[in-house]
A and B are shown apart, each in its own frame.
Chain A
Amino acid sequence: MATQLTSIETLANQEYKWGFVTDIDADTVPPGLSEDVIRLISGKKNEPPFMLEWRLKAYRQWLKMKEPTWANVHYPPIDYQKIIYYAAPKTKTNQPKSLDEVDPELLRTYEKLGIPLHERELLAGVAVDAVFDSVSVATTFKEKLSELGIIFCSFSEAVQHHPELVQKYLGTVVPHSDNFFAALNAAVFSDGSFCYIPKGVRCPMELSTYFRINAKDTGQFERTLIIADEGSHVSYLEGCTAPMRDTNQLHAAVVELVALDNATVKYSTVQNWYPGDKEGKGGIYNFVTKRGKCLGANSKISWTQVETGSTITWKYPGCLLIGENSVGEFYSVALTNNYQQADTGTKMIHAGKNTRSTIVSKGISAGHGQNTYRGAVKILKGATGARNYSQCDSMLLGDKCGAHTFPYLEVKNTSSSVEHEASTSKIGEDQIFYCRQRGISTEDAVGMIVNGFCKEVFRELPMEFAVEAQKLLGVSLEGSVG
């Protein structure tokens, strides 16, 4: 079932991708960023003036900003003038002609994950014609959703059809000037997802990209906006366990969530972008800004992430807890193997009374991987009775990797309580031997021990995602021990 969903998702998106290519193949903008390029992007997307203004504002801000260097990640300087900011997706001529041309390591991973053959071609970006009736699947779901008044579409569509909602909420959680990467995204983002759940509606299905046919191929700069109106409930799934081939090295996405009174948003991510080869070459730089705003009383925003891909991950999904009794949650598994680096964590800002937050972070480092937890908990003056509980556990496999923890606490209200627990453990030779003595191979033993370590996070994931995530950890750790 789980792989089937992935299959639908992939096929659906891929089909769109090629349709898109043929349309605007001639449209290419020279590398580099300028106001003209932004005007061009906005124009091509036929955006209303407020969008262009917002993009330009972001761009002008971005010009004054410096790329952040505080994160515990290292990479060669990025030349932002060499990036193509508006390009048609890769044309078929750039793609491998068959699986024979694809990195054998990648193929082996697909095999381990049990991905069907025809799907592997799509994931690896092989130029094949997908014959798949994705449109009808998507349409069925869309009809069902629209009966309930749920809007779920690509960001571009939302700008065209629901500009009032976009204008009202865009940038209210992650402002155009928030940080270097968020400003860049605001200036040039190509597409993304938009979701609005009306008052009192409980979205009857997990929303994921698999029936969103229009918004996947957003390349490097994706933007998502989810609004849960009063008393509504939505669970959103992002990502895919199969590693996707992508030639864009820099990814700077933005996700904004808004929860009004008594609304709940649950956002789950499995991120498995190409991590680079064993020497760490060629992987994706993933610089993401994700934030949720619990605007209403008793609202709740819950982030769950499983980060196993990318060569560099820079990501801090956080919550602004403004409404009284609102709840923020962050459950994270971040795994770094080979030469991957992850600097990830969360920010919980308590502004409202009796707001509560929970942070559970599990970092796993193997190979030469460097894994940093960076978290900020701020209790503002008015946050009477606020509570936070943080738990950060690190696990090391081998002796060439690293785990780092930087918790920041800022408490300005004496009636609040903040708890922080941290642990670092090394996966024990004793544990592995114990498993092997029971007949379990080293590889399976490592997978089992690591999955056990992550259990508290996995149980927050929707069922089919959890199963895939467990499998994914095992595959990502292959060859890291023994």
Chain B
Amino acid sequence: MLKNPILEIRDLHAKAGEKEILKGINLTVFPGEVHAIMGPNGSGKSTLAQVLAGRDLYNVTGGEVLYEGRDLLALQPEDRAQEGIFLAFQYPVEIPGVSNLYFLKAALNAIRKRKGEPELDAMDFLSRVRQKMSLMEMDEALLNRAVNAGFSGGEKKRNEIFQMAVLEPRLALMDETDSGLDIDALKIVSHGVNALRGPDRAIVVITHYQRLLNYIVPDYVHVLAEGRIVKSGDKSLALELEESGYAGIEEFAETAQ
């Protein structure tokens, strides 16, 4: 018997101001799957991630998104997060004066509250955090530093995946997590993500480069161009793209219009 999809995107259109960026996205993601979304700059990859997370900079002008069968677009961003959607940001934000640990505890407890679970006490929380820190090979000193403040680009990205590991989302969206990472950091991040793969969780990896997909091997690869998914396939599609580049894809998108 087939499982129900975690995410169903149907003919999704979205605008930033007057400009239409998403022009009819269709995508279905089942539990346990890892999908990679690739595409050239400006194709709408990050917009898709932000729209799914509920950023109000974008107006959804058509289509629908179902998350676990329910209307995702009707939910506030914090409700989506509490329901298990996690976005690893392309540009993680700094929050001066708020420690990583405090921030993460507030987030985790907000999610637990939604599930009707009691708040984690300090000891349980710390042991969970320590375990995930070692997974991400992070220095514990980072816990007491302010959220992303003064972090290097690589540390910020690693911190995103660390948060993801602690919060254990059902649907993880990773927006160009690989950009700005050197090869060692890339391996560590990928290791962390792979450790999160599981039958109940789905991961959508947005990336410009095939490189990441050598480490996080996707079940499906989609190519986004001009606000539409123009091609889908298995992991071999990513390799194909690396050889031919996006040029051919863009032509394809233009003829499709």
Report yes or no: A454 in contact with B97, Cβ–Cβ below 8 A.
yes
Contact A438/B81 with A444-B106, A453-B96, A454-B97 known, Cβ cut-off 8 Å? yes
How many chain-B residues does the 8 Å CB contact rule pick out? 30
Any A CB within 8 A of the CB of B252 = no
Report yes or no: B107 in contact with A430, Cβ–Cβ below 8 A.
no
On chain B, the residues within 8 Å of A448 by CB distance are 95, 98, 102-103, 106
State A454–B96 Cα separation when bound (angstroms): 10
Report yes or no: A437 in contact with B98, Cβ–Cβ below 8 A.
no
Report yes or no: B89 in contact with A434, Cβ–Cβ below 8 A.
yes
Any B CB within 8 A of the CB of A452 = yes
CB contact between A434 and one of B95, B96, B102, B106 (< 8 Å): that residue: B95
Report yes or no: B76 in contact with A436, Cβ–Cβ below 8 A.
yes
State A304–B141 Cα separation when bound (angstroms): 29
What's the least CB distance linking B24 to chain A, in Å? Answer: 25
Among A106-125, those with CB < 8 Å from B are none
On chain B, the residues within 8 Å of A437 by CB distance are 53-54, 77-78, 80-81, 86-87, 89
On chain B, the residues within 8 Å of A430 by CB distance are 93
Any B CB within 8 A of the CB of A442 = yes
Any B CB within 8 A of the CB of A451 = yes
**A431: nearest residue on chain B (CB-CB)?**
B93
Report yes or no: A451 in contact with B97, Cβ–Cβ below 8 A.
yes
What's the least CB distance linking A226 to chain B, in Å? Answer: 31
Contact A449/B81 with A438-B107, A438-B163, A439-B107 known, Cβ cut-off 8 Å? no
Q: Interface digits, B64-95 against A, CB 8 Å rule (1 contact, 0 not)?
A: 00000000000011101110001101001111
Report yes or no: A436 in contact with B98, Cβ–Cβ below 8 A.
no
Report yes or no: A452 in contact with B98, Cβ–Cβ below 8 A.
yes
What's the least CB distance linking B165 to chain A, in Å? Answer: 13
| CB within 8 Å: A-B pair count | 74
Any A CB within 8 A of the CB of B146 = yes
**B81: nearest residue on chain A (CB-CB)?**
A439
On chain A, the residues within 8 Å of B92 by CB distance are 434
Interface residues on A, range: 20 to 34
Any A CB within 8 A of the CB of B167 = yes
State A454–B95 Cα separation when bound (angstroms): 12
Any B CB within 8 A of the CB of A144 = no
Report yes or no: A452 in contact with B89, Cβ–Cβ below 8 A.
no
State A456–B167 Cα separation when bound (angstroms): 29
Any B CB within 8 A of the CB of A440 = yes
State A430–B94 Cα separation when bound (angstroms): 9
State A77–B161 Cα separation when bound (angstroms): 59
Q: Interface digits, B177-221 against A, CB 8 Å rule (1 contact, 0 not)?
A: 000000000000000000000000000000000000000000000
Contact A449/B95 with A433-B77, A438-B163 known, Cβ cut-off 8 Å? yes
Q: Interface digits, A413-438 against B, CB 8 Å rule (1 contact, 0 not)?
A: 00000000000000010110111111
What's the least CB distance linking B51 to chain A, in Å? Answer: 12
Contact A452/B96 with A436-B54, A439-B111 known, Cβ cut-off 8 Å? yes
Contact A438/B53 with A448-B98, A452-B98 known, Cβ cut-off 8 Å? no
CB contact between B82 and one of A434, A439, A456 (< 8 Å): that residue: A439
Any B CB within 8 A of the CB of A400 = no
**A441: nearest residue on chain B (CB-CB)?**
B78
**A445: nearest residue on chain B (CB-CB)?**
B78
What's the least CB distance linking A129 to chain B, in Å? Answer: 39
State A428–B95 Cα separation when bound (angstroms): 10
Any B CB within 8 A of the CB of A162 = no
On chain A, the residues within 8 Å of B53 by CB distance are 437
Choose among A438, A439, A448 the residue with the greatest number of B CB atoms under 10 Å from its CB: A439
On chain B, the residues within 8 Å of A431 by CB distance are 93-95
**B106: nearest residue on chain A (CB-CB)?**
A440
State A21–B86 Cα separation when bound (angstroms): 61
Any B CB within 8 A of the CB of A45 = no
On chain A, the residues within 8 Å of B167 by CB distance are 438-439
On chain A, the residues within 8 Å of B111 by CB distance are 439
State A454–B86 Cα separation when bound (angstroms): 29
Taking beta carbons and an 8 Å cutoff, which residues of B are in contact with A?
Answer: 53-55, 76-78, 80-82, 86-87, 89, 92-98, 102-104, 106-107, 110-111, 114, 146, 163, 167
- 6 closest cross-chain pairs (CB), A and B: A452-B97, A452-B98, A438-B107, A439-B110, A439-B81, A455-B97
Task: Supply 19 A–B pairs (Cβ within 8 Å), ascending by A.
Answer: A431-B93, A433-B93, A434-B95, A437-B86, A438-B81, A438-B104, A438-B163, A439-B78, A439-B107, A439-B110, A439-B114, A440-B78, A442-B78, A444-B106, A444-B110, A448-B98, A452-B98, A454-B97, A455-B97
Contacts beyond the supplied A436-B78, A439-B114: 16 A-B pairs with Cβ under 8 Å:
A428-B93, A431-B94, A433-B55, A434-B95, A435-B107, A436-B76, A436-B77, A437-B81, A438-B104, A440-B110, A441-B110, A448-B98, A448-B103, A451-B98, A452-B146, A453-B97
Taking beta carbons and an 8 Å cutoff, which residues of A are in contact with B?
Answer: 428, 430-431, 433-442, 444, 448-449, 451-456
